[in-house]
Amino acid sequence: MAEFTMELNDDQKEVRDWLHGFAADVIRPAAAEWDEREETPWPVIQEAAKVGIYSLDFYAQQFFDPTGLGIPMAMEELFWGDAGIALSIVGTGLAAIGVVANGTEEQIGTWIPQMYGTPDDVKVAAFCSSEPDAGSDVGSMRTRAVYDQAKDEWVLNGTKTWATNGGIANVHIVVAVVDPELGTKGHASFIVPPGTPGLSQGQKFKKHGIRASHTAEVVLEDVRVPGSCLLGGKEKLDERLARARERARADGVGASSSGSRGRVKNAAMATFEASRPAVGAMAVGTARAAYEVALDYAMNRTQFGRPIIDNQGVAFQLADMRTQIDAARLLVWRASWMATAGRPFTSAEGSMSKLFASEVAKKVTAQAVQILGGNGYTREYPVERMHRDSAIYTIFEGTSEIQRLVIARTLSGMPIR
């Protein structure tokens, strides 16, 4: 396993420069248009597919980078271009992670290629976990999956919300309750193949930021999927549920209370644990983009006969912005390297990276707007959009409050609420 390093090798630098060029030449020129349209930028996704960025092979190469830096490096460069378009390009990855984290080799080989399609016929996928009454509180999930043994099918009913690519996806990955008595330990993930009857798009959300990324409800009404669409398979699920029940009995509590005890794997959490450093890298990309605009503006904008960067009030803000961005990147890279090296997050390092980078993105983009003054408040300059986009990082895939809860529980070993 590669030792931790802050120095990219020649191959990584080549990939970084290639991604930066795509972000600068293709993503950025289209950013304002698709933000205004609030639609999925299919032409940009297709361009990404044609050059090999939107593909299973590309993400696999970055995922298996032995240094662990492939994914965060890629996320930072793409989101430097534009957060909304970049999320449309990488949003399928969350569903893919769900399959990799919980599925069998056959499921991975069968379904992940269908999530991406081909350069001539691009597809997207959606990961559906949150619900109207179950966001951070995954224990309140109501979507049910009931096994029909006679037909070897699972029947899904419920409503998911905040699903990236929800309703327009070729493949949906849905987290559902299979045993309500086990709380969060009674959840499982299911593949819903394209064209499955009963799955429909509900409300499409008009958002504050990342407007080029499609976010919607997904409604499941008697959705039947084959038994083979249970991620990991039924035998593995039965074994996991049996362990959860036995642990609940050993703890001397009702099974419904076991959700907060033990270390039995939860389907949704396994996906989020794997993706948190990547979200941190997205935030770093947005923060870096806003900082660069602000620095350039401060160097060239004159007031009272001199560039505004000559004023300490501006220069010190930029110094703090750059320091915080670099610190956030360090935390993200450390967590990414640890995950690849198989080192456990004994201090919740994954949550640390996501928490700090998300908060930095909000702060840095706000400072960029302030440095640009009235210009920063208009859509003539991109920092206004970057500031709107940055708000999502402290919300999705675990709010900042949830990250702090995870970190505090990990450090103390106490059931902090």
Question: Is-catalytic flag, 131?
Answer: no
CB 209 within 8 A of CB 275: no
Question: What is the spatial distance between Cα 314 and Cα 367, in angstroms, rounded to a whole number?
Answer: 9
Q: Where are the alpha helices (DSSP H) in 28-104?
A: 28-37, 42-51, 56-63, 70-81, 83-90, 92-102
Question: Taking the alpha carbons of 160, 164, 170, 173 in that order, is the dihedral positive or negative?
Answer: negative
Contact 281, 76 (CB under 8 A): yes
C-alpha angle 129/348/134, rounded to 5°?
A: 20
- At 404, is the secondary structure helix, strand, or coil? helix
Catalytic residue among 76, 131, 273, 397: 397
Q: What type of residue is 77? A: E
Question: What are the angstrom distances between the C-alpha of 241 and each of 117, 186, 188, 267?
Answer: 34, 7, 10, 12
Tally Cβ neighbours within 10 Å of residue 224. 15
Query: With 0-12 CB in 10 A as exposed, 13-18 as middle and 19+ as buried, what is 6?
Result: exposed
The answer to whether 68 touches 341, Cβ cutoff 8 Å, is yes
Residue linked to tokens 């190469």: 61
* Among the listed residues 298, 296, 294, 292, the one whose alpha carbon sits nearest the alpha carbon of residue 367: 294
Residue 208: name the closest of 378, 386, 369 by CA: 386
- From the CB of residue 118, how many other CB atoms can be counted at a distance below 10 Å? 12
| 215 CB-near residues (< 8 Å, 6+ apart) | 162, 163, 164, 166, 204, 205, 207
> What sign results for the dihedral spanned by CA atoms 238, 242, 248, 251?
negative
Say how far apart CA 300 and CA 314 lie, in whole Å. Answer: 13
Q: Yes or no: say if 172 and 198 are a contact pair by the CB < 8 Å rule.
A: no
Bridge-based pairing state of the strands 153-164 and 144-148 = antiparallel
Active site residues: 397
